[in-house]
Structure 1
Amino acid sequence: MKRLLTVALAALVLTGCAQQSNPLESDTKVTIGIGGQPLLVYLPTTLADRLGYYRDEGLQVNLQDLKSGSNAVQAVQGGSVDVASGYYDHTVQLQAKGRRVTSFVTMGRLPSVALVVSPHSSRKITSISDLKGANVGVTAPGSSTDFFLKYLLVKHGMAASDAHTLAVGGDASAVAAMQQGKVDAAVMVDPSISLLQKRAGELRILADARTSAGVKQEFGVDSYPGSVFYASQDWLAHNGDTSRKLAKAVVRALQWIHQHSATEIAQAMPAEYAGGDPGVYVTAIDRAKESFSADGVMPADGAKAAYTVLSEFNSEVAKAKIDLSSTYSNDYLPAR
């Protein structure tokens, strides 16, 4: 009997050791939907994975490229992803529709989008006013690129519907649409803008929110948040520890970006994201570095600016009673 007990205890110990030696069995699984994974605005999401920062937090993360911000919104609402890597303004838009989502780590302190004229447009376009009746590309209807276009049209005295919007995606498909003259202009995100410029030469840019100076000019503010992680308030309430781990991993990636060169960052990313031109990709990353947050914090004035801009062209947002404090939270971030 003693020998049997000894063997049984030894088996239990060995089983326990075997379980501890396989961390995957204890990892928390999280699915993140990205509104266009190759786009630089979402670089920290992928970089945190490439550097192993999610795994360091005991997370088994599945990244899904959903091509556009509007698709990411639908995925979060439908429950096919746990977290969206998308733009903050969607949290405001969704609250106006009675749906509660909250951003919990800010990656982009700038929107990093630009309204670019196609070098092959058949129309003469020298100003935003010339876009009336034109075909303008956005990543997808209801995306933040679509919001940017509508805001600019209204700001320049037109209706939000005065330009015809076409979904062209955000990466190679957007570049192709511009090169082939399928659209007269497009709201684009890097590295697509840099790739188009390399192939087509100097571009006419009607509005540029990729720099602090550009954001000040277009929105009249110093801070305007871009890409964030957001999730339903219900998911956050039941996954607070997981959310804190995600935020910590992303903040580590943001700090790594500011501590390393554009070349080093490019080398850490999937090679195919360079669009066949590594040199242009490095240049685009170098230009984009200033757009990334250093600490993941959402500034209150930035959230207010996003709400004000949406209210300019979205009557649903303008009429709704928006509680901005519930559209974002800095409580999940690492202690500063």
Structure 2
Amino acid sequence: MKKSVKFSFSFLLIAILMFSLAACNSNDDAKTKKLEKVRIAEVTRSIFYAPQYVALSKGFFKEEGLDVTLTTTPGGDKTMTALISGGADVALVGSETSIYVYAQGANDPVINFAQLTQTDGTFLVARDKIDNFSWDLLKGKTFLGQRKGGMPQMVGEFVLKKHGIDPHQDLTLIQNIDFANIANAFASGTGEFVQLFEPTASIFEKEGKGHIVASFGKESGHVPYTCFMAKESFIKKNNATIEKFTRAVYKAQQWVESHSAEEIAKAVESYFPDTDPQIMKTVVERYKSQGSFATDPILDEEEWTNLKNIMNEAGELPKDVDYKTLVNTEFAEKVMKK
């Protein structure tokens, strides 16, 4: 009887040990499981793209089995070049660039599959403090705008015209300065007004280099300002990857929507090591309050139409491209259902 008990006990110990080893091996396999690499090229580094940095810092991409690397390629032309040449798998850039590529007769068009921001992200900064700002004050002044053909510049002109200002007749419009050097040009004394992204606009305000007087995002309405896009061939070959990517983006968008400006600023601070935490909080709150961060990745047809209207008004729409030609909402709709 005692031998039987001992044998049963020994067998139990062996079973427990084998189960433990199997569990350890399973955990090791999970830890060592190779993540799929995805390369993003972003058009600029801005708190405007906070949900993207949240997806990275909170591990939402890794949860989906993706190892995402991020590279900043200043300017839409450089970002699109990186994507088309194979230097990046996914681009975060304005949707207007996909229209430009398509209009040039691309055999492998660039498809918008997940929207990140839904308003313009720039602000009008005046060199001098203005207590009672009105858009008429720009008449006769020098306005340092964004690169010609880019979404910021087109929205800038759209808003000026909305307020009865002809950007090519009523003021001196400068738009031949490289995207990365616009802020420096203004700081060096060029122009009385400038169109800037955050956090640069708020930093300038803190340092006394300028004063934020208006938001182009509030003035222009909803538009697919920045979207994640990839070549059609890449999407066809990597459907599962695009779905995982979009799901991570959606998780981040929902997280941003449900958390405070302070929490969001804290989550993305590693991407802005030289920016004052208080400025970051202010900037996030500013973008949240005007609805700049899209709460889901769907680029709808109304936004696409608004984009084309803005491009057409600026004289930059090369051809009328149908919504379904360059927009794929399949992945966004799928991850939202789940």
Task: Specify if TM > 0.5.
Answer: yes
Match of 2:208 among 200, 206, 216: 200
Given that 1:92 and 1:324 are in contact with CA atoms closer than 8 Å, whether structure 2 keeps it comes out as no
Q: Work out whether residues 119 and 200 of structure 1, in 8 Å CA contact, stay in contact via their aligned partners in 2.
A: no
- 3-state SS of 1:332 partner: helix
Counterpart residue identity of residue 240, structure 1: N
The answer to whether the 8 Å contact 2:269/2:277 transfers is: no
TM-aligned CA deviation for residue 70 of structure 1? 2.8
Q: Could you say what secondary structure the match of 1:335 adopts?
A: helix
Please state how far the C-alpha of 1:204 moved relative to its aligned partner. 6.0
Q: In structure 2, what is the Cα distance between the partners aligned to 1:159 and 1:97?
A: 27
1:49 aligned residue: 56
Q: Matched residue pairs, number?
A: 301
Indicate if the aligned counterparts of 1:178 and 1:186 stay in contact, CA closer than 8 A. Answer: yes
Give the TM-score, by structure 1 length.
0.79
Q: 1:117 aligns with which of 114, 123, 126?
A: 126
Taking a change above 3 Å as real, the CA distance of residues 315 and 226 of structure 1, as seen in their structure-2 partners, is closer
SS of equivalent to 1:157: coil
1:203 is displaced (CA, Å) by 2.5
Select 2:80's aligned residue among 73, 78, 83: 73
Gaps of 5+ in 2: 1-21, 130-134
1:17-32 equivalent positions in 2, closer than 5 A: 20-23=29-32, 25=34, 27-32=35-40
Partner of 1:103: 112
Query: Do 1:36 and 1:66's aligned partners in 2 also have CA atoms closer than 8 Å?
Result: yes
Tell me, what secondary structure is at the counterpart of 1:224? coil
> What do the CA deviations read for 1:258-283 (whole angstroms, capped 9, x no partner)?
11111111111134616442111111
Correspondence for 1:8? none
What do the CA deviations read for 1:154-203 (whole angstroms, capped 9, x no partner)?
A: 66335499623143546xx6544333213443221112222222222872
Could you say what the CA RMSD is over the residues aligned between the two structures, in angstroms? 3.0
Q: Is the 8 A contact 1:112 1:291 kept in 2?
A: yes
How far 1:256 moved relative to its partner? 0.6
Seen in structure 2, the aligned counterparts of structure 1 residues 78 and 146 have a Cα distance that, compared at 3 Å, is farther
For residues 157 and 122 of structure 2, the distance between their equivalents in structure 1, rounded to whole angstroms, comes to: 13
Residues 157, 167 of structure 2: 8 Å contact kept: no
Residue 315 of structure 1, CA deviation: 5.0
Query: Per-residue deviation at 1:21?
Result: 4.4
Q: Take 1:98 and 1:128, find their aligned partners in 2: how far apart are those partners?
A: 39
Q: Could you tell me which of 162, 166, 174 is aligned with 1:164?
A: 174
Which residue of 1 is the match for residue 97 of structure 2? 90
- The 8 Å contact of residues 112 and 189 in structure 1, kept in 2 or not, is answered as yes
2:196 maps to what in 1?
A: 188
AA matched with 1:199: E
Q: After superposition, where does 1:121-132 map in structure 2 within 5 Å?
A: 127-131=137-141
CA distance in structure 2 between the aligned counterparts of 1:308 and 1:188, rounded to whole angstroms: 22
Percent identity between the two aligned chains? 21
For the residue of structure 2 that corresponds to 1:107, the secondary structure is: strand
Are residue 209 (structure 1) and residue 219 (structure 2) matched? no
Assess if the C-alpha contact under 8 Å between 2:40 and 2:92 holds in 1.
Answer: yes
The answer (yes or no) to whether the contact 2:55–2:249 under 8 Å persists in 1 is yes
Describe the shift of the 1:154–1:96 C-alpha distance in structure 2 as closer, same or farther (beyond 3 A): farther
Distance between the aligned counterparts of 2:59 and 2:209, measured in 1? 38
Task: Tell which structure's C-alpha radius of gyration is larger.
Answer: 2
Amino acid at match of 1:280: I
Aligned to 2:12: none
Kept in 2: contact 1:29–1:62 (CA 8 A): yes
**3-state SS of paired residue (2:194):** strand
Contact 2:54 2:252 in 1 (8 A): yes
Q: Counterpart of 2:174 in structure 1: which amino acid? A: H
Over residues 47-91 of structure 1, what are the superposed CA-to-partner deviations in whole Å (9 max), with x where a residue is unaligned? Answer: 211110111111111111112233212211222111101122222
**Conserved 8 A contact 1:129-1:153:** no
Confirm or deny that 1:283 pairs with 2:290: no
Is the partner of 1:110 in helix, strand or coil? coil
* Closer/same/farther in 2, CA of residues 146 and 79 from structure 1, 3 Å limit: farther
SS in 2 for 1:314: coil
Compare 179-188 and 47-56 and name the one that shifted more. 179-188
The aligned residue for residue 299 of structure 2 is 298
CA contact (8 A) 1:154 1:313 kept: no
Partner amino acid, structure 1, of 2:124: L
Q: Aligned pair 1:148/2:155, yes or no?
A: yes
Aligned AA for 1:105? A
